[in-house]
Structure 1
Amino acid sequence: MITIKKAQPKSRSRRLSARARRAVLLVHVVAGVGWLGIAAVTFALTAAVLVEPELGVVRAGYEFHELLIGWLARPASLLTLGTGLILSVGTKWGVAAHHWPLIKLVLVVVTIAITASLAPGWIAAAQASGSQSVGAQVNLIGMAVFHVLTIGAATWLSIYKPGGRIRWNLPYPRRI
């Protein structure tokens, strides 16, 4: 006797349950808003320290700046990145199925990479020489503005979701 096997249904990718998605989304939003707030505070702090004439206050301001970055901004940025990846993989949006999650991922990774590579040197230079290191101080203000803009752009992308789906398998035009 011949038996015919039924075709197995296509396996769906694993998606988060509604409860898990909401929980991860809550953590993602809180971490992202926290990161934006920290960026705004570091902007205000760095701008205030820029015009401060007393070296002791300048050094204390940058020590506080380092504490904000190390204890709050880094964890918030990494938590935002991690929960964003979980949401991308665990929902219909995907990491690279739509334009906006991919752009958000690039914004977050670039912001973290630039900050991790440049900010420590600028903070050390600003702490060491105080008001003589105007260049490093201005760079730190620019870095804070950069953070506010990129995190704000990522927030905008989350709300408006522009661009639609990415069409990865477009055929190349044939030339005759």
Structure 2
Amino acid sequence: MTATQQTQQTRTFRLPARARRAVLLLHVVAGVGWFGIAAVTFVLTLAMLTRSDSAVVRAGYEFHELLIASLARPASLITLGTGLVLSTGTKWGIAQHYWPLVKLVLTVATIAITASLAPGWIATAARLSSGSVDSAQVNLVGMAAFHLLTVGAATWLSIYKPGGRTRWAARTRSPSVQGRR
């Protein structure tokens, strides 16, 4: 078996160019949407801190929950799914370079933290009486800021691709490919 044949056999699956571009487009649109929703929820949660009408506060947090359930949750899951497809179907890999691995950790952590904490905070904030500020409201502002930071950081990582290759990269490459660094 020649080195070329061995390289072709050990090569992992790669997305065809047209499919890669389609998945990348969906990934970018979902990520931008997620960031936009985070910005809206940040402004909304800040505005709810200063409202004195209980009905307005309740409506604001009900709208916040609607944004999360109908837009943010699907956008975050689409971003995660398309990111996994792109990292496994392109040269970057999940653990070949630091930046896709860090993006994965940021995305999973953001989804997990939000899914576990935000529903209770939203329910508590929606029940508050007028004029009072509760820790749940402040936590929701912090959660929205956390989303802006993590999704913004993931976007930055995608553009600048810092950090080089991971220590696992050399182990997952075939010997003939390692020699051609």
Rg larger for: 1
Query: Which of structure 1's runs of 4+ aligned residues deviate more than 6 A?
Result: none
Gaps of 5+ in 1: 1-5, 171-176
CA distance in 1, matches of 2:83, 2:147: 17
| Alignment TM-score, normalising by the size of structure 2 | 0.88
Query: What residue in structure 2 maps to residue 59 of structure 1?
Result: 58
- Which structure 2 residue ranges, 5 or more long, are not aligned? 171-181
Q: How does 1:129-144 map to 2 (within 5 A)?
A: 129-130=128-129, 131-144=131-144
Bigger shift: residues 9-18 or 141-150: 9-18
CA contact (8 A) 1:35 1:77 kept: yes
Does structure 1 retain, via aligned residues, the 8 Å contact 2:35–2:148? yes
Contact 1:125 1:133 in 2 (8 A): no
- Establish whether residue 127 from structure 1 lines up as the match of residue 126 from structure 2: yes
Identity %: 72
Deviation string for 1:71-91 (max 9, x for gaps)?
A: 000000000000000000000
Alignment root-mean-square deviation, CA: 1.7
Q: What is the SS of the residue equivalent to 2:10?
A: coil
1:27 aligns with 2:31: no
Q: Normalised by the size of structure 1, how large is the TM-score?
A: 0.90
Counterparts of 1:97 and 1:133 in 2: how far apart (Å)? 46
Compute the displacement of 1:128 (Å).
1.1
For residues 11 and 102 of structure 1, what CA distance do their matches in structure 2 show?
A: 22
Give the CA deviation at 1:12.
Answer: 1.6
Contact 2:34-2:75 at 8 Å conserved across structures: yes
Seen in structure 2, the aligned counterparts of structure 1 residues 112 and 127 have a Cα distance that, compared at 3 Å, is same
- In the alignment, which residue of structure 2 is the partner of 1:168? 168
Please state how far the C-alpha of 1:169 moved relative to its aligned partner. Answer: 7.8
Q: Quick one: which amino acid aligns to residue 154 of structure 1?
A: A
1:83-98 superposed matches below 5 A: 83-98=82-97
**2-structure distance, mates of 1:16, 1:169:** 19
Instruction: Specify the alignment match of 1:108 in structure 2.
Output: 107
Aligned position for 2:73? 74
Which residue identity lines up with residue 47 of structure 1 in the other structure?
L
